[in-house]
């Protein structure tokens, strides 16, 4: 019973992330459309897009190798494993023993690294340009990410993700401590950078010279593109889930009882939807930064994270 | 005010003060920098008021109101008046570029924590441990003062140094005696007035606020 | 009686502020300086006889050191205000200054005097800091009085660098207050100098170390010690001559007075070695910087400003030695340097006025073309270089003797080398200015209003050099306040 319960909750978590991720992307587009004064596509449109793409023909560039079809699979696989590790619905995820913040984050980065390699693999100019830009952003964001995780781990004395959540639940005052606030601010900037949202990258752009992420996946079509879209959506949902659970961990299920799990799912969806909606709302009012200004933004995130780490040490 | 709320508010205030110092290195628009300075003044007043309420120190509460008015309202508005005339209004090419400045700010924050060991040992309670924040803000202000090209940015750097030292004074000694505090606030105000007059002169005579234009006197 | 000293300049400032410039306002300024000097002498006499004056509920206190500094301020203020009359009249006549602007100058000079007097008479370290910060603010406008591009740049640099220094000094004062609170309790009384000195052995050494280092850095900026000296040449060369005389002659030493007051506390808490090391470092650095930069000077006012850096370095070395002889020599040097530098700056102001340029190469043959003025300038340079019979010879000699006795012989040797370099540089610049082809013009006459006070100042300097008689007991008493 216990094993079935844990497995069931794990499957529910992955499914929520998968379906919920696509719905999340649709929600963000809808919020943006509404604020801009348009009606916008229905919220479930990304689900329909994925279903449509699965039926289309798969094309591959002429000189691409085995990396090209493998990358989307690796992307989705890593996100699923990370979803199994992260305490989203339940505070005891399936692979909870090894659930370290570092591991979760680097799994996600592995997926995006594969996509970047695939972009290089296409042999086209746009793929190469997009990949190099994306890897630059990743490299710039990494110090900030590392120090953020350090800052978040200081108060709980460990970087084990469920341990951090349990420590936060035990001492709610830590939510408004400067350490946590600075670290979360830095984390938000890094999430925006990693998932390719404004002001780092415009997900809706069609101008090749301003594409970063879109340029990498320009050559994908059919089921490959479906997998990439799914993987990207899941990654965004997972990152936002991590963020909200670090910020406000209440509502997480601590056992496998149906009521608790259902409540946990609902609360998670609500929290993530709120944050995503807010992000989308803000995005309407900001413009994409020039590529040369990105180091400034990410260096600022680094200093914020550093402030958070230092505050955490002081507060102990 | 119970103790944990007291320490949280203090910690938050000190964090915001250092954050505003970092923002002055981060943002390029002069108006944003002045706004960060205003927020810092308000945070400083908040810290002073919290300390005063917790320690039942009437003098400190009065000083907090004084700081709010002087550093949160009057000084930023004086500087905004200067900025309003500056058409370009952006710090376009500081001596050290923005990402490097931000990394330097990180290093300075570390330095501040390392250098204030003896002081935190002497004032060893919750407030004493926050003294390095004041030193960090002061060091970041020095850095801004030394590496910025615009007159307004140098003024802001000077005021950051002042705010950092004021924070150290509040945390370490619950403020300095009232007469000294009055003198210090008055001096800050007068310095800003003087700088405003000089900056206006600079604009009238040289046409811009670029300190590069002032390079006649040298050996 | 102490409040009289402070009130006099303030009262004299009031009519200057109300009416536009006329000659009477200039003489009012002279009167205020003379009253300050007279009261200072009375104060000194009282203090030497044993009655230290206290006023205003303990905020003001005059011990021997303060009385001496009041005399220094009074003497140089008298010289400067006398010249101020001439300076302002000439500026208004040349159209470079409006009468309103001139009365602003008069008000600011009186404010300058009042804040300096407050600084030396303050019993409370916090009040002393406030006064010194106030001097910075007042003098910024005075430095920029001439309204040229150069003076704008000089006053900007001056206020930015000195404000940073003053902020550091404030942090040092706060740290001293922190240490004092653990010993003396809260409130303004904790910063009272006399009680701090009495309890200095109980102050926390770690905090005091940091505090004194900040004080030397911070107030040292106002003294013009290297490496914080970069504002000095610009400010002192661009300011009007009387202001330069006051700043170079007095303000630098008032800031050093503040360092001396803190040194007594630091010596009590840490032992003499820490302060000695710090002061030796900045002193030697100032000497080296001054020596290396004096050779290449092209402007005689900048040359005099760098010369001030050298003398501040010498004073710092003397204070580092710390014995009674050393401190007495330092104080004598403060007076002698103040008078001589003041006379030189005022003379150079007159040269600038009549020649119109401040470049050394453009004012040759001063001794032949303007004998009295050239003579005053020559004797002033001779005085500053430390020749007998001027008092700087006596004070430098005794400072060197004291340094050798205390074990700072190596520092004294290095300072002698730097002084030799500076000697050569100043002599060569002076030769360029004073000697040269005579030309056919008849020698110009310098007005008595200009010449007489300057000659009197140099004569006083020589008199003190020959016999320290009027000041001997005062110097001894003042040195005892500070010495180890």
Residue C131's DSSP bridge partners are none
Handedness of CA A187, A78, A15, A163 (dihedral sign): negative
Tell me if the bond preceding C389 is cis, omega within 30° of 0: yes
CB contact under 8 A, A306 and B109: yes
- Tell me if B173 and C178 make a contact (CB, 8 A cut-off): yes
Q: Which residues contact A15 (CB under 8 A, 6 or more apart)?
A: none
Instruction: Report pLDDT for B91.
Output: 67
Chain B partners of C59 at a C-beta cutoff of 8 Å? Answer: 179
Q: Which residue has the tokens 């008046």?
A: B81
Picking from A177, A295, A298, the nearest residue to B11 by CB comes out as A177
**Domain final residue, candidates C270, C305, C323:** C270
**Which of C124, C153, C174 has the CB atom closest to B217's CB atom?**
C153
> What is the DSSP secondary-structure string of A38-94?
-----TTHHHHHHHHHHTSPP---TT--THHHHHHHHHHHHHHHHHHHS-SSBSS-T
CA-CA distance, C286 to A22, in Å (whole number)?
Answer: 70
Residue of B nearest to A301 (CA): B102
Q: How far is CA B127 from the centre of its chain?
A: 19
Q: Report d(CA C408, CA C395) in Å as an integer.
A: 17
pLDDT over 70 (residue A217): yes
Q: How far apart are CA B45 and CA B39, in angstroms?
A: 10
pLDDT class of B92 with cuts at 50, 70, 90: low
Which residues of chain B make contact with A307, given a CB cutoff of 8 A? 15, 18-19, 22, 109
The predicted pLDDT at position A1 comes to: 52
Is residue B216 assigned to a domain? Answer: no
Q: What is the pTM of this model?
A: 0.86
Lowest mean pLDDT of B33-42, B144-153, B200-209, C170-179, name the range: B200-209
Regarding chains A and B, contact by 3 or more CB pairs under 8 A is answered as yes
Question: How many angstroms separate the CA of residue B145 from the nearest CA in chain A?
Answer: 19
Q: Do chains C and B have 3 or more beta-carbon pairs under 8 angstroms?
A: yes
**C112-147 burial: b if 16+ Cβ within 10 Å, else e:** bbbbbbbbbbbbbbbbbbbbbbbbbbbbbbbbbbbe
Neighbours of chain A (3+ CB pairs under 8 A): B
Report the C-alpha gap between B156 and B25 in whole angstroms.
10
Cis ω on the peptide bond leading into residue A199 (within 30° of 0)? yes
In a domain, C137, yes or no: no
CB-based contact C399:C314 (threshold 8 Å)? yes
Give a yes or no: residue B108 inside a domain: yes
**HSE of C374 in the Cβ direction (CA atoms, 13 Å)?**
20
- Do C295 and C229 lie in one domain? The reply is no
Interchain contact, B12 vs A310, CB within 8 Å: no
Distances (CA, A) of B28 to B88, B93, B152, B158, C266: 11, 9, 12, 17, 43
Residue contact B132–A315, C-beta within 8 A: no
C167 plus C189 within the same structural domain = yes
At residue A223, does pLDDT exceed 90?
A: yes
Using one digit for the tens of pLDDT, what is the confidence trace for A72-127? 999 999 999 998 888 888 877 777 777 788 888 888 889 989 999 999 998 888 88
Q: Which pair of structure tokens corresponds to residue B122?
A: 């002497």
Closest C-alpha to C349, from C86, C61, C10, C32 = C86
- What number is the average pLDDT over the span C270-281? 90
pLDDT at position B161 is 92
Minimum CA–CA partner of C145 in chain B: B198
Confidence check: pLDDT of A255 > 80: no
Tell me which of C4-18, C64-78, C233-247, C415-429 is least confident. Answer: C4-18
- Number of structural domains, chain C? 3
Same domain, C321 and C445: yes
User: Which pLDDT score, from 0 to 100, does residue C336 have?
Assistant: 92
pLDDT band at C56 (very low <50, low <70, confident <90, very high): low
Q: pLDDT tens across B123-169, in order?
A: 667 777 888 899 999 999 999 988 887 778 888 899 999 999 989 88
Tens digits of per-residue pLDDT, C125-165? 888 999 999 899 889 888 888 878 888 888 888 988 999 99
Q: Are residues C473 and C329 in contact, defined by beta-carbon separation less than 8 angstroms?
A: no
CB proximity B118 to C under 8 Å: yes
C176 and C260: one domain? yes
**How sure is the predictor about A287, in pLDDT bands with cuts at 50, 70 and 90?**
confident
User: Is residue C132, in this structure, part of any structural domain at all?
Assistant: no
A to C contact (≥3 Cβ pairs closer than 8 Å): no
Instruction: Give 3-state DSSP helix, strand, coil % of chain C, rounded to 5.
Output: 80, 0, 15
CA–CA separation, C334 vs C315, rounded Å? Answer: 8
pLDDT tens across B37-67, in order?
Answer: 999 999 999 999 998 888 888 888 888 888 8
Would you state the structure tokens that stand for residue C468, as one six-digit string? 């320290």
Q: What is the CA radius of gyration of chain A?
A: 19
Chain B partners of A304 at a C-beta cutoff of 8 Å? 19, 22
User: Does residue C364 have a pLDDT over 90?
Assistant: no
Q: At residue A289, what are phi and psi to the nearest 5 degrees? A: -80, 150
pLDDT at A166: 83
The mean per-residue pLDDT over the stretch B12-32 comes to 90
Asked if C152's CB is within 8 angstroms of B214's CB, the reply is yes
Higher pLDDT, A73 or A4: A73
Average pLDDT, chain B: 83
Q: Which of B14, B102, B132 sits opposite A303 (nearest CB)?
A: B102
Round to whole Å and give the CA distance between C29 and C24: 9
Which residues constitute the domain of residue B78? 3-210
Task: State the virtual CA torsion across B124, B127, B128, B134 in degrees, nearest 10.
Answer: 170
- So what's the pLDDT on residue A224? 92
A314–B132 C-beta distance less than 8 A: yes
- To test the contact with chain B by mutation, choose from C167, C193, C269 the residue with the greatest count of B C-beta atoms within 10 A, namely C167
Residue B218 lies in a domain: no
Q: Compute the average pLDDT of residues C343-359.
A: 87
Closest residue of C to B142, CA-based?
C164
> Which chain C residues are within 8 Å of B180, Cβ to Cβ?
124, 126-127, 129-130, 173, 188, 191
C251: containing domain:
145-270
Going from N- to C-terminal start, the domains of chain A cover 2-315
Half-sphere exposure of B125 (CA within 13 A, CB side): 11
Q: Choose the weakest-confidence range: A33-42, C8-17, C426-435.
A: C8-17
Spatial contact of C267 and C482, defined as CB atoms under 8 Å apart:
no
Contact A307 B109 (CB under 8 A): yes
CB-CB under 8 Å, B138 with C127: no
Query: What is the pLDDT of chain C when averaged over all its residues?
Result: 86
Q: Which of C91, C123, C155 is the last residue of a domain?
A: C123
Determine the residue of chain A that is closest to B11 in CA distance. Answer: A178
A74-78, A302-306, C406-410, range with the lowest pLDDT: C406-410
Please determine, for residue B1, whether its predicted confidence score (pLDDT) is greater than 80. no
Closest CA to C335 of C257, C225, C420: C257
Q: Is the CB of B119 less than 8 angstroms away from the CB of C129?
A: no
Asked if residue B217 is part of any domain, the answer here is: no
Task: Give me the mean pLDDT over the C51-66 stretch.
Answer: 75
Out of C140, C188, C302, closest to residue B194 by CB: C140
pLDDT of residue A208: 72
Residue C4 pLDDT > 80: no
Residue C37 in domain: yes
pLDDT tens for C212-227 read 999 999 999 999 988 8
- DSSP conformation class of C191: G
Instruction: Determine the average pLDDT of the residues in A43-69.
Output: 91
Contact with chain A for residue B168, Cβ under 8 A: no
* B219: pLDDT strictly greater than 70: no
Q: Is C138 domain-assigned?
A: no
Q: How far apart are CA C252 and CA C223, in angstroms?
A: 4
Question: What does C345-392 look like in DSSP terms, one character per residue?
Answer: HHHHHHHHHHH---BGGGS--HHHHSHHHHHHHHHHHHHHTT-TTSHH
Q: Do C164 and B142 touch (CB under 8 A)?
A: yes
The mean-pLDDT minimum among C191-195, C274-278, C310-314 falls in C191-195
User: Which of A295, A300, A314 has the CB atom closest to B130's CB atom?
Assistant: A314
Domain end (from C123, C153, C171): C123
* C128 domain-assigned: no
- pLDDT given for residue C50 in this prediction: 74
pLDDT at A23 (0 to 100): 94
What is the spatial distance between Cα C421 and Cα C411, in angstroms, rounded to a whole number? 15
Query: Chain B closest CA to C329's CA: distance in Å?
Result: 32
B87 pLDDT tier (thresholds 50, 70, 90):
low
């Amino acid at each position: 019973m216990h094993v079935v319960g844990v497995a069931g909750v794990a499957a529910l978590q992955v499914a929520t992330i998968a379906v919920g991720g696509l719905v999340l992307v649709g929600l963000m587009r809808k919020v943006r459309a509404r604020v801009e004064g348009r009606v916008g596509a229905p919220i479930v449109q990304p689900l329909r897009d994925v279903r449509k793409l699965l039926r289309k023909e798969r094309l591959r560039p002429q000189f691409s190798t085995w990396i090209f079809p493998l990358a989307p699979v690796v992307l989705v696989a890593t996100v699923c494993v990370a979803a199994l590790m992260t305490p989203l619905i339940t505070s005891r995820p399936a692979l909870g023993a090894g659930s370290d913040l570092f591991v979760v984050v680097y799994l996600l980065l592995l997926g995006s690294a594969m996509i970047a390699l695939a972009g290089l693999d296409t042999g086209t100019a746009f793929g190469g340009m997009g990949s190099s830009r994306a890897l630059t952003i990743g490299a710039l964001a990494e110090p900030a990410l590392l120090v953020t995780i350090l800052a978040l781990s200081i108060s709980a004395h460990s970087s084990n993700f469920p341990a951090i959540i349990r420590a936060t639940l035990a001492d709610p005052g830590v939510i408004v401590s400067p350490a946590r606030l600075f670290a979360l601010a830095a984390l938000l900037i890094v999430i925006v950078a990693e998932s390719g949202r404004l002001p780092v990258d415009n997900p809706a752009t069609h101008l090749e010279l301003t594409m970063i992420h879109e340029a990498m996946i320009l050559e994908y079509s059919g089921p490959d593109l479906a997998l990439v879209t799914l993987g990207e959506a899941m990654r965004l949902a997972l990152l936002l889930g991590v963020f909200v659970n670090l910020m406000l961990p209440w509502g997480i299920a601590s056992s496998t009882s149906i009521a608790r799990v259902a409540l946990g799912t609902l609360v998670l969806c609500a929290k993530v939807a709120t944050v995503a909606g807010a992000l989308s709302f803000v995005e309407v009012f900001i413009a994409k930064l020039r590529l040369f200004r990105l180091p400034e933004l990410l260096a600022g995130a680094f200093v914020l994270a550093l402030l958070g780490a230092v505050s955490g040490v002081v507060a102990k | 005010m119970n103790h944990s709320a007291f320490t949280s508010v203090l910690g938050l205030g000190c964090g915001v003060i250092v954050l505003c110092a970092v923002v002055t290195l981060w943002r390029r628009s002069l108006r944003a920098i002045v706004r960060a300075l205003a927020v810092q003044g308000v945070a400083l007043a908040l810290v002073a008021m919290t300390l005063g309420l917790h320690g039942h120190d009437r003098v400190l509460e009065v000083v907090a109101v004084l700081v709010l008015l002087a550093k949160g309202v009057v000084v930023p508005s004086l500087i905004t008046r200067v900025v309003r005339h500056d058409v370009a209004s952006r710090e376009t090419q500081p001596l050290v570029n923005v990402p490097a400045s931000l990394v330097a700010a990180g290093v300075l924050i570390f330095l501040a924590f390392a250098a204030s060991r003896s002081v935190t040992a002497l004032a060893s309670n919750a407030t004493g441990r926050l003294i390095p924040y004041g030193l960090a803000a002061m060091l970041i202000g020095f850095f801004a003062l030394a590496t910025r090209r615009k007159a307004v940015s140098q003024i802001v750097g000077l005021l950051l140094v002042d705010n950092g030292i004021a924070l150290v004074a509040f945390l370490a000694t619950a403020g300095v005696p009232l007469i000294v505090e009055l003198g210090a606030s008055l001096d800050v105000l007068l310095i800003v007035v003087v700088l405003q007059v000089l900056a206006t002169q600079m604009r009238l005579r040289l046409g811009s606020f670029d300190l590069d234009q002032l390079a006649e006197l040298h050996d | 009686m102490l409040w009289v000293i402070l009130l006099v300049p303030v009262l004299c400032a009031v009519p200057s502020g109300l009416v536009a410039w006329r000659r009477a306002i200039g003489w009012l300024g002279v009167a205020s300086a003379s009253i300050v000097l007279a009261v200072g002498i009375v104060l000194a006499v009282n203090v030497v006889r044993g009655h230290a004056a206290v006023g205003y509920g303990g905020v003001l206190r005059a011990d021997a050191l303060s009385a001496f500094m009041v005399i220094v301020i009074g003497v140089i203020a008298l010289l400067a205000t006398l010249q101020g009359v001439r300076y302002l009249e000439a500026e208004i006549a040349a159209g470079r200054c409006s009468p309103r602007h001139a009365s602003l100058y008069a008000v600011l000079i009186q404010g300058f005097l009042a804040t300096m007097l407050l600084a030396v008479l303050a019993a409370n370290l916090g009040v002393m800091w406030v006064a010194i910060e106030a001097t910075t603010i007042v003098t910024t406008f005075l430095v920029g009085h001439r309204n040229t591009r150069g003076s704008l740049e000089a006053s900007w640099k001056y206020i930015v660098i000195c404000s940073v220094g003053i902020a550091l000094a404030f942090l040092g004062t706060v740290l001293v207050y922190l240490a004092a609170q653990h010993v003396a309790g809260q409130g303004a009384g904790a910063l009272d100098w006399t009680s701090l000195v009495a309890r200095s052995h109980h102050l926390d050494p770690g905090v005091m170390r940091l505090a004194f280092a900040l004080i030397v850095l911070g107030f040292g900026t106002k003294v013009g010690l290297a490496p914080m000296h970069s504002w000095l040449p610009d400010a002192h060369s661009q300011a009007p001559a009387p202001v330069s005389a006051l700043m170079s002659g007095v303000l630098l030493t008032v800031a050093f007075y503040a360092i001396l007051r803190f040194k007594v506390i630091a010596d009590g808490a840490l032992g003499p070695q820490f302060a000695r090391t710090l002061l030796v470092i900045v002193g030697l650095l100032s000497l080296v910087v001054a020596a290396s930069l004096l050779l290449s000077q092209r402007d005689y006012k900048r040359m005099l400003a760098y010369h001030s850096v050298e003398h501040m370095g010498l004073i710092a070395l003397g204070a580092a030695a710390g014995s009674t002889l050393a401190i007495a020599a330092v104080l004598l040097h403060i007076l002698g340097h103040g008078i001589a530098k003041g006379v030189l700056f005022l003379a150079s102001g007159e040269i600038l006025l009549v020649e119109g340029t401040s470049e050394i190469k453009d004012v040759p043959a001063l001794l032949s073309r303007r004998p009295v003025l050239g003579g005053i300038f020559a004797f002033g340079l001779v005085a500053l270089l430390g020749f007998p019979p001027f008092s700087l010879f006596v004070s430098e000699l005794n400072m060197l003797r004291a340094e050798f006795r205390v074990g700072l012989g190596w520092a004294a040797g290095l300072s002698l080398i730097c002084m030799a370099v500076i000697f050569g540089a100043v002599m060569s610049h002076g030769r360029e200015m004073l000697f040269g082809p005579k030309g056919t013009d008849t020698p110009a006459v310098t007005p008595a209003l200009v010449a007489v006070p300057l000659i009197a100042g140099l004569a006083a300097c020589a008199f003190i050099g020959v016999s320290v008689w009027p000041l001997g007991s005062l110097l001894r008493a003042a040195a005892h306040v500070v010495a180890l």
